């Protein structure tokens, strides 16, 4: 079993794997574990659960609630995985999305002595030499990192984001287990396999490993700072690189008011409508201009500084849109704003997100109905976040999968729009978005942009023309040398082979039992050999063995739930 799951052969990994299965079964997902054919671990998991008292309260909870509770019990990796899934409405139903959005990764703080050891080990000097002041009480404590405040010898106030000791090993172990489960899901649960669980886990691995590398987060912060260097309405905290490494990030401490603290903002004389406008502008600039946006813009991560300056904190989760994805997003938003169903379908076909065997007639009909539903709604009443969420629900129904960064963008946009309406009840994201889209469309039609695009396409075709003769020659040579191969993958047959093997084993057991009964019955008629209670001992022994094997077979069939 372990080689199949790509797990390290060590006691700690095996114990963690058993713990995960035990928690899943505890919260009512034993049938899911059984479908994956993890028989040995399933039995062990049942024994683990039977040691504790079962809670009848769980039976009244929904599947989404139970799964959220299981993730919280399983710890940081699964909480982060659930948070990632909460950004994927194309994978999970809405009730699961809403429930996973409640996942919190606030955990008790690590003792300050361990945090100091981590800093000293990473930066190579004692705390007293590194900093003039280090506050032992953490500002925040999460599953991946802990934040403390302090002061440098040069006088700057700073915050230290320190990775929790040992957390990387825990995360890597859990990711191995998640990857193994994802492979099993693809093999045994075809209804779930269409959502590509292996790639989901790979995306999660890439995301969480980047999030745990604070040097990369520092580089990301520098990119945001460079993008907004000429914008006086946005402030990005400074990174102190001499005190920053993979597990320690030292940032300028920003003093301001949380954007959700409306009473304090009003008491200080801030214009809430202006803050809503600047916050929306800053986010749309990140998305549509730079292709690099804050992935978690909740109110706790946004501060207001003097002169209505917006400052975003915590850049661990960010989204990235390359030029191709940005163009695709602009095309889709333009089509939605113009209520053009044909343009939406053309964009999806062009980008390859829509396959040729898709039900285009019904898709076109549903898109038209979707647009008409919003046609008569007043502009100020339309919520862009809700519109995009329903649009993605529609695409999901037709098995159209958009990139993960689009899903993250939708969630972030919902947060920004909600914050804007909290600051200004009359805030209108559609009216705010329209000028951006119109300006970007005009820029794409400008002769300078068209000439650059023409040069790019010409260069691509030129490269293709150079390599095409060689590729054709290599293709023909392979055919001539009988080295041309086509690999075919039979998906979903492993479960069939397992079931056939199990059925043949049960049939063999039944034949052996039948033969023992018939043979023992014949021996009973002969009265040959040693006797017990007046009957041949060999016949009694045969009946006994048949009875034990028959009972074993019956118990196995009953426990499998397949009579």
- Residue 277's nearest CA partner among 237, 304, 314 is 304
Is residue 365 helix, strand or coil?
Answer: helix
- Measure the CA–CA gap between 393 and 388, rounded to whole angstroms: 9
Active site residue 296: yes
CA atoms within 13 A on the CB side of 28: 15
- Measure the CA–CA gap between 274 and 265, rounded to whole angstroms: 12
- Measure the CA–CA gap between 539 and 526, rounded to whole angstroms: 10
Indicate which residue of 296, 314, 331, 405 is catalytic: 296
Do the beta carbons of residue 67 and residue 27 sit within 8 Å? yes
Question: Kindly report the CA angle at 73 between 68 and 79, in degrees rounded to 5?
Answer: 55
Strands 535-536 and 309-312: unpaired
C-alpha distance from residue 414 to each of 298, 386, 440 (Å): 10, 7, 22
Sequence-distant (≥ 6) Cβ neighbours of residue 548 within 8 angstroms: none
DSSP string of 88-132, one letter each residue: -TTTS-HHHHHHHTT---B-PPPPHHHHHHHHHHHHSS-HHHH-S
Element (H, E) at 349: helix 341-351
- Measure the CA–CA gap between 210 and 220, rounded to whole angstroms: 11
Sequence-distant (≥ 6) Cβ neighbours of residue 189 within 8 angstroms: 35, 36
Q: Which residues are catalytic?
A: 296
């Amino acid at each position: 079993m372990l080689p199949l799951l790509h797990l390290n052969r060590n006691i700690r990994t095996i114990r963690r794997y058993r713990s995960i299965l035990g928690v899943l079964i505890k919260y009512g997902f034993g049938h899911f574990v059984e479908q994956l054919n993890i028989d040995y671990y399933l039995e062990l998991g049942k024994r683990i659960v039977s040691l504790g008292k079962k809670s009848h309260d769980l039976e009244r909870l929904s599947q989404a609630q139970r799964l959220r509770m299981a993730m919280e019990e399983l710890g940081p990796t699964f909480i982060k995985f659930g948070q990632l899934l909460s950004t994927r409405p194309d994978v999970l139903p809405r009730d699961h999305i809403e429930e996973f959005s409640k996942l919190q990764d606030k955990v008790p703080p690590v003792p300050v002595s361990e945090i100091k050891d981590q800093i000293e080990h990473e930066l190579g000097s004692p705390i007293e030499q590194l900093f003039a002041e280090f506050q032992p009480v953490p500002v925040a404590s999460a599953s991946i990192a802990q934040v403390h405040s302090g002061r440098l010898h040069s006088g700057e106030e700073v915050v230290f984001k320190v990775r929790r000791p040992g957390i990387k090993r825990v995360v890597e172990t859990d990711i191995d287990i998640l990857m193994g489960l994802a492979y099993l899901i693809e093999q045994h649960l075809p209804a779930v396999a269409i959502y590509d669980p292996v790639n989901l886990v790979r995306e999660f691995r890439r995301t969480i490993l980047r999030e745990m590398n604070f040097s990369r987060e520092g580089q990301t912060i520098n990119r945001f700072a460079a993008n907004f260097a000429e914008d006086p309405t946005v402030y990005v905290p400074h990174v102190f690189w001499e005190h920053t490494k993979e597990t320690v990030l030292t940032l300028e401490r920003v003093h301001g008011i949380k954007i959700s603290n409306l009473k304090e903002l009003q008491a200080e004389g801030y214009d809430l409508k202006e803050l809503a406008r600047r916050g929306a502008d800053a986010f749309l600039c990140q998305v549509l201009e730079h292709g690099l946006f804050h992935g978690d813009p909740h109110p706790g991560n946004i501060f207001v500084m003097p002169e209505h300056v917006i400052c975003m904190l915590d850049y661990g989760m960010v989204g990235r849109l390359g030029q191709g994805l940005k163009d695709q997003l602009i095309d889709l938003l333009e089509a939605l704003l113009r209520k053009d169903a044909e343009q939406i379908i053309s964009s999806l076909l062009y980008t390859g997100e829509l396959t040729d065997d898709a039900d285009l007639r019904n898709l076109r009909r549903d898109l038209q109905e979707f647009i008409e539903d919003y046609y008569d709604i007043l502009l100020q009443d339309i919520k862009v976040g809700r519109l995009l969420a329903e649009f993605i629900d529609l695409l999901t129904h037709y098995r159209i999968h958009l990139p993960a960064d689009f899903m993250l963008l939708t969630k972030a946009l919902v947060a920004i729009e909600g914050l804007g309406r909290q600051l200004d009840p009359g805030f209108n994201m559609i009216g705010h978005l329209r000028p951006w889209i119109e300006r970007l469309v005009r820029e794409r039609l400008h002769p300078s942009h068209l000439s650059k695009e023409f040069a790019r396409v010409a260069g691509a075709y030129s490269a293709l023309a150079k390599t095409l003769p060689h590729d054709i020659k290599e293709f023909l040579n392979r055919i001539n040398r009988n080295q041309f191969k086509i690999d075919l993958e039979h998906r979903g047959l492993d479960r069939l082979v397992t079931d056939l093997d199990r059925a043949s084993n049960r049939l063999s057991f039944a034949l052996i039992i039948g033969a023992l009964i018939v043979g023992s019955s014949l021996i009973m008629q002969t009265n040959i050999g040693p006797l017990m209670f007046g009957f041949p001992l060999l016949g009694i022994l045969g009946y006994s063995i048949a009875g034990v094997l028959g009972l074993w077979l019956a118990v196995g069939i009953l426990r499998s739930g397949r009579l």
